[in-house]
Structure 1
Amino acid sequence: MGREELVRRVSEFAKESEETILNQVRKMGSSLDWSRYAYTLDEKRASAVSHAFVNMYEAGLIYRGHRIVNWDPKGQTTISDDEVVYEEENGKFYYFQYGPFVIGTARPETKFGDKYVVINPNDTRYKEYEHGQQIELEWINGPITATVIMDEASDPEIGSGVMTITPWHSVVDFELAEKHDLDKEQIIDKYGKLLPIAQEFEGMKITEAREKIVEKLNKKGLLVKVDEKYTHNVSKSERTGATVEPQIMEQWFVAVDKPFKIPHSEIKGVKSGDEVTLKQLMRTAVESRDIEMSQNGFRKTYFHWIDNLHDWCISRQIWFGHRIPVWYKGEDIYCGNDAPDGEGWEQDPDVLDTWFSSALWTFSTLGWPEKTKDMETFHPNAFMSPAYEILPLWVSRMILMSSFHLGQVPFKKVLIHGLVRDKSGRKFSKSLGNGIDPLDLVSEYGADAVRMGLLVGTAIGNDINFDESKVKGYKHFANKLWNITRFILENHHEGVPKTLPDKAIGYLDELKHIVAEITTEMEKYHLYLASEKLYHYIWHRVADQILEETKEVFASDEEDAKIAMSHTLNIILTTSLKLLHPFMPFVTETIWQELPQKDEDMLMIAKWPHTKD
């Protein structure tokens, strides 16, 4: 159908999905400034993405080159390390005679081009061999000349302590080849089929050819043994489920280890004019506590990811997304925010990794690259709370982009939350058929009950095993709120109390303690504790005890006592509604509108209660 038509159809689908998502967000009660709504592919964000690319290209931090990447043969595109998932599979592990050595592999189909044998220089078993020594040996397609490479990458404790390398189809092997300036030869094409180097196996899919290759090696007397009970992790594309095939390809990369002088820095531990790398900026921002990342487990995950970070491949071979702002004409290359003048220029067909544009979000939404009042007021952002699965995908890259383009951290505090899983602890997925539409739950139980069902008892950072019965329980709690309100309004007595009895004073002192406790939990972001404590106070203390204790007062003939207790219960109700509003916004706002005495027309804008009130 062509690029233009496909992009039009995908955009149409995205618009429909957008309406569904926005409707879900609204129905769930998110309190947002809708006038600031932005879309990653709108005109302003496209401008920001283009400027970011050009700035980094001109700084020498974006380059085009041949490096090993994760190739998805089903999706026909590169994917980032963070889009690779690992699935445990049972397979076979083969041992082959490679000249005087025994080597092991789970992928014999990649071994056609193996002509380097790596030995640890500290392994005394092979002290007679020297770096660069050549050995004549028989291999898959006949005699070859192998070269000895002495490198500590070969582990003497694993197998024979000797390994051959396939630089085109292994990240580790590629790095070894780069280190020793070795040849690299492609064995498998981008469709997962063997190339002419495989001779009679050319054109076969690797799964089809594997056992046939082993059979050929066995006939040559080169098969030593097979481990039939080999379990290993296989790299899969999270999006398509295809087995990822490492390939050396010409792509666009962000250089994370290249030193540059940062022109302006407000980051703790980094001065304007310092020579740094992007990787150093990402580490320093958190290490210096300019960004507070207090959850130690996730903090360690973040540093581990940075320590193992390679140059970021940002080009994707798909049609929907931000086009790379680079044009070609013969040998000429032009990078800019607008297309170059003159005829004959063709734009790079690739689009950028979606996380490239998402990484700009904290400032592209505030008007960057323009210097705006919003940028001055709201950047860095105060708080960011993503799920742990996008800590490397999004959080780390926001830090990278903000540090480079602004010399600022993107936000001051990060609090990582967990994932919502099904009742059995499994991820929600289409294949399992265990997905839940929040709008269905809202229709049956109300948004307030759904919110409480997700919050109460769920410590920040932990996954949530979603249980519908829990949501049902909080629907009963919403009904209980109405019953409490009805009792208090039915027993409302106008007037200002002359004095408060000791019991009423005790109730209000207890309420002040609750306000202080809930406020402290909220300030610590312990929403799961704050919501749970409120639930127990309102249901088990107010409804079960306090209201029962006051029935005797309202049944008496003492008008002053009734006025005093009505006044006290009104304070308990209005304060409880204020405390509960962030968790159950709909029912609390509706009840608020029924109250005869209140300090604001809308609960949403009422002041948070204080212990001195």
Structure 2
Amino acid sequence: MKKQISDRYEPTSVEPKWISRWEERKSFLPDSNASPSFTISLPPPNVTGSLHIGHALNHTVQDIITRIERKKGKATLWIPGMDHAGIATQMVVERELAKEGKKRSDFTREEFERKIWEWKEHSGGMIQNQQRLLGESVDWSRQRFTMDEGLSKAVVKVFRSLYDEGLIYRGERIINWCPKTLTAISDLEVEYRETKGKLYHLRYPIVGKPGEYAIVATTRPETLFGDVAIAAHPDDERYKKFQGAQAILPLTDRTIPILFDSFVDKEFGSGLVKITPAHDANDFEAGQRLGLKPLLVMNPDATLNEHAGKYAGLGRFVARKKIVEDLEAAGLIEKIEDHVHSVGHNSRGGEIIEPYLSLQWFCKMTSLAELAMEAVRSGETEFVPKLWEKTFFEWMNNIRDWCVSRQLWWGHRIPAYHCKNCGHTEVSESSVSACPRCGSEKVEQDPDVLDTWFSSQLWPFSTLGWPEKTPDFEKFYPTQVLVTGFDIIFFWVARMIMMGKKFTGKSPFAKVIIHGLVRDKEGKKFSKSVGNVVDPLDMMTKYGTDSFRFFLAATLPEARDVLFDESRLDGYRSFCNKIWNSSRFILMNLDEEFRKEDPETLNASDLEPMDQWILHKFDETLSKYEKAYSKFLFFEMASEIYEFVWGDFCDWYIELVKPRIYGKLGPRSREIAQQVLSDVLVRALGLLHPFMPFLTEEIYEAFGDGEFLTRTPFPKSYNVSAENEGVIKTNILQEAVKQIRVQRTENGVPLDKKCKAVLKSGNPLVAASVKDFEVSILQLARLESIQVEENYSAEKTDSVGAFRFGEVILPLAGMIDFEKEKARLEKDLQKAKQEEEKLSSKLENPNFLAKANPDVVEKEKEKLRLLKEKTDSIRKAMEKLS
């Protein structure tokens, strides 16, 4: 047995060692002999990405689950991989080319794709090395990439199947268009920002009625050339006079009809709306219903086209300014108001998104959404917390067709082939060189690629070899758990359920664990522009990875965001040091010939009360830990093991057992203490390991059996009852000492003064406990003496406090200066009252309540509650002294 560890814990030397050893020993491969299987598919980070604080939280939670299930004896597989990230990756490579004075158009499509693969080989995948630094126990031998051959095969098969069923089609619809990257983008990639703008109320002259106008408000005057009608609500009495009328489109000689339709909100604005089907999603649907032909007035780069007359060629914002000037000059503006509204931006480049009519590929979602909803309704897939199911159903019930095509060169190319001769389109899983309808060889593959989310929706089963019935697919699908943030329930989670049900007949996961976002300590979202971004690697370097991981888990409340407060990391670093130092103490005090035994094999009569107590406290912790895990309450799990290790084991048991360890109570007592200390430590390390893999693995190695902690079984219970006499006696000791310490503090008894204590109780176990633990009680509570009396009559100057087994009484006469202590308490009371008043005022301020994050408000309320408890405690202490 290696019995020594260094005198201090150094994460920078320990962590790299275990990253290498785990991989060398293939520690994270599923055990082929184990059953049942347990699978998690890691949400694939972008190939362009690096580890951010959200990844750190998400991956830590998954690793905790994976390490627990592996220790529970299951064939546990955590599948890693990366997403090809179409737009992001293409942008990165184009930026690299720009440094050389080159652009994409200087290359053929095939040449550009090779450039991206070269970049991916040399620079992509940085995040995977960072995942290793975080200690993620994924099976690296099974890592996948969404552009792998096998995954690409699955993508083409799914596209072809959906197309053959009529669920994928090509048509003109409104999409999110980025004029900078010149591609459609997904809803997820649109970031809506509150923007200060203008609301322009335009006058549309009524044909044949000089001086009469239809007043229509718009935030985008540059789109007016695409107006094809004005609409009012059928019940709006103000505009019935316009029945059958035409209006003149400002700055043109074109006329448009005034129509009536119930989609118009007559209470909004003037009650009249302009219909611009080619540049607004709602207008497009209205135009379809009313039989109006869309008119596109912008080029792909957001310059106005020939339909804009003299404004053609101008950028949309330059054109807006010029158009407004000309409208004012023509007397066609009723008024202009300041207006704050939500404007969509490309989350990757910041460009303002244009709602744009475009010929794209779409997927019909209604029937697929029903498959997903049925999986959740039936309980096949469950959201944790369950409240997210409501959000899921709201999105599914209002789902729209999905634009799956992107105008990029990087990604899965759409497997559709267009014949230039007869116009036929053939969708095929293999390359098409001749038109199957007319035989012409003038066939070209569709230039577009699929939305990145199209391939990632297949992730849980494509990574396991589907569409082939591979051994991995048969053994590890469906997966058991998905861990993700709430922000992609619709864009990814729902689609994975749809595709899993559609193509395998099974939902891809049994549970979806939804966690909040990580925000700064004020509740603000992390943002480079705000300057509050935290780099996880910096935190891991500064405090150690285990401290960082434990912090993330311990501060992850159910269904709420994590508020990142760096100051708390120092406390968890101290926790790591506490574990290390306590383990070192135990190892240093094991005999050379020591061989660890299971305490359950020891004679019960050999176990002293404190031994029985710590075994029971471990059982109690294990039970609470498992109960919290069954609900995926990671903060409760962290809290339970933290309290046990730091409090029960280190601060109480180790202190109580030291006289035995030092041989003061004989060799057999020392031997039993060694066995209990070492075994409880190892079992506690087993519970800590999922949270703190590096520290625990390093300590466990010191016991020298050659096995890695990550592969050892999950800790088991000692089965020591709370009714055990030794447990009760030690509880009495602990509660009495705690109460004495509280009374000493409340009454200002200096630490260097030993006082007397009386336990007033008729419970015979109280006397038995004091007899067994008298030396420990005197030492831990800094007492001169302690006695047990059933009928003790307290003096006026005595301090009296209740504990579960009676009363604890401290005679204070001669111990403190009463007047001096009253003065100190008065000063403390005034200070506490001032803080309480200040905090109350803050919480009564409607501006603070309106702007602050709910978590921050709750935090302030908790501070106020604790302050009130403090002032009450001070008042009670003053009353005693009076």
TM-score by shorter chain over 0.5? yes
Cα separation, partners in 2 of 1:352 and 1:122, compared to 1, 3 Å: same
**Preserved CA contact (<8 Å) 1:388 1:461:** no
- Residue in structure 2 matched with residue 234 of structure 1 by the alignment: 343
Matches of 1:154 and 1:42, distance apart in 2: 49
Runs of at least 5 residues in structure 2 that lack an aligned partner in the other structure: 1-105, 207-212, 435-440, 720-882
Does residue 108 (structure 1) correspond to residue 221 (structure 2)? The answer is yes
Determine which of 448, 451, 456 is the counterpart of 1:350.
Answer: 448
Which residues in structure 2 correspond to 1:177-188 (within 5 Å)? 177-188=287-298
Give the counterpart of 1:198 among 293, 298, 308. Answer: 308
Pick aligned residue for 1:86 from 163, 183, 192: 192
CA RMSD of aligned residues (A): 2.1
> After superposition, where does 1:272-287 map in structure 2 within 5 Å?
277-287=367-377
CA distance in 1, matches of 2:684, 2:160: 53
Deviation at 1:581, TM superposition (A): 0.5
> Equivalent of 1:511, from 618, 622, 629?
618
- Does the alignment pair 1:173 with 2:263? no
The one of 673, 677, 680 equivalent to 1:565 is 673
Which SS does the other structure have where 2:342 is aligned?
Answer: strand
Distance 2:514 2:199 in 1: 39
Pair 1:82–1:446, CA change in 2 (3 A):
same
Is the CA contact (8 Å cut-off) linking 1:115 and 1:144 kept in structure 2?
A: no
Within-5 A mapping of 1:406-421: 406-421=504-519
Q: In the alignment, is the contact (CA less than 8 A) between 2:553 and 2:638 conserved in 1?
A: yes
**Mapped pair 1:298 → 2:388:** yes
**How far apart are the structure 1 equivalents of 2:120 and 2:515?**
27
CA distance in 1, matches of 2:612, 2:112: 69
Q: Percent identity?
A: 39
Alignment of 1:364-443 (within 5 A): 364-431=462-529, 434-443=532-541
Q: Report if aligned partners of 1:359, 1:398 keep a CA contact under 8 Å in 2.
A: yes
Q: Trace 1:119-268 onto structure 2 (pairs within 5 A).
A: 119-130=232-243, 133-135=244-246, 137-227=247-337, 229-257=338-366
Shift of 1:532: 2.3
Counterpart of 2:484 in 1: which secondary structure?
coil
Q: Matched residues in 2 for 1:171 and 1:367: separation?
A: 39
Contact 1:457 1:532 in 2 (8 A): no
Matched, 1:588 2:680: no
The alpha carbon displacement at 1:434 in A equals 4.8
Query: 1-side partners of 2:123 and 2:718: how far apart?
Result: 48
- Give the partner amino acid of 2:364: A
Q: Does 1:50 align with 2:148?
A: no
Asked if 1:447 is matched to 2:545, the reply is yes
Deviation at 1:129, TM superposition (A): 4.6
After superposing the two structures, state which structure 1 stretch, 420-429 or 403-412, moved more. 420-429
Q: TM-score, normalised by structure 2?
A: 0.64
Number of residue equivalences: 588
Deviates most, 495-504 or 366-375: 495-504
Alignment CA distance shift 1:55-1:142 (3 Å):
closer
Q: CA deviation at 1:433?
A: 5.4
Separation in 1 of the partners of 2:377 and 2:447? 39
Q: For residue 426 of structure 1, report the CA deviation from its aligned partner.
A: 4.4
Contact 1:314/1:356 (CA < 8 Å) preserved in 2?
yes
Residue 296 of structure 1 and its aligned partner are, at CA, apart by 4.3
Question: What's the counterpart of residue 338 of structure 1?
Answer: 430
Question: What SS does structure 2 have at the residue aligned with 1:78?
Answer: strand
Gaps of 5+ in 1: 258-276
Asked if the contact 2:202–2:216 (Cα under 8 Å) also holds between the matched residues in 1, the reply is yes
Q: Is the 8 A contact 1:516 1:610 kept in 2?
A: no
Which string of whole-angstrom CA distances, capped at 9 and with x for unpartnered residues, describes residues 583-605 of structure 1? 00111111111126x7x822111
C-alpha distance 539-586 of structure 1, shift in aligned 2 (>3 A): same
Matched-pair contact (CA < 8 Å) for 2:249–2:256: no
Q: 1:478 is paired with a residue of what secondary structure?
A: helix
Question: How do residues 425-504 of structure 1 correspond to structure 2 at under 5 angstroms?
Answer: 425-431=523-529, 434-492=532-590, 494=594, 498=603, 499-504=606-611
AA partner of residue 299 (structure 2): D
8 Å CA contact 1:140–1:216 kept in 2: the answer is no
Match of 1:264 in 2: none
Letter of the aligned partner of 1:36 in structure 2? R
Give the letter for the 1:68 counterpart. I
Which one has the largest radius of gyration?
2
Alignment-derived partner of residue 35 in structure 1 = 141
Report deviation, 1:151.
Answer: 1.3
For 2:355, the aligned partner's letter is: P
Structure 1 window deviating more from structure 2 (505-514 vs 291-300): it is: 291-300
Q: Over residues 300-345 of structure 1, what are the superposed CA-to-partner deviations in whole Å (9 max), with x where a residue is unaligned?
A: 2222222332111011001111111112221132211111244432
Task: Tell me how far apart the structure 1 counterparts of residues 516 and 234 of structure 2 sit (CA, whole Å).
Answer: 45
List 4+ stretches of structure 1 deviating above 6 A.
Answer: none
SS of residue paired to 2:580: helix
Which amino acid in the other structure matches residue 340 of structure 1?
V
Provide the residue aligned with 1:271 in structure 2: none
Match of 1:578 among 686, 706, 714: 686
- Answer whether contact 1:318 1:350 (CA < 8 A) is retained: yes
- In 2: Cα distance, 1:153 partner to 1:321 partner: 39
CA contact (8 A) 1:95 1:226 kept: yes
Structure-2 residue corresponding to 1:531:
638
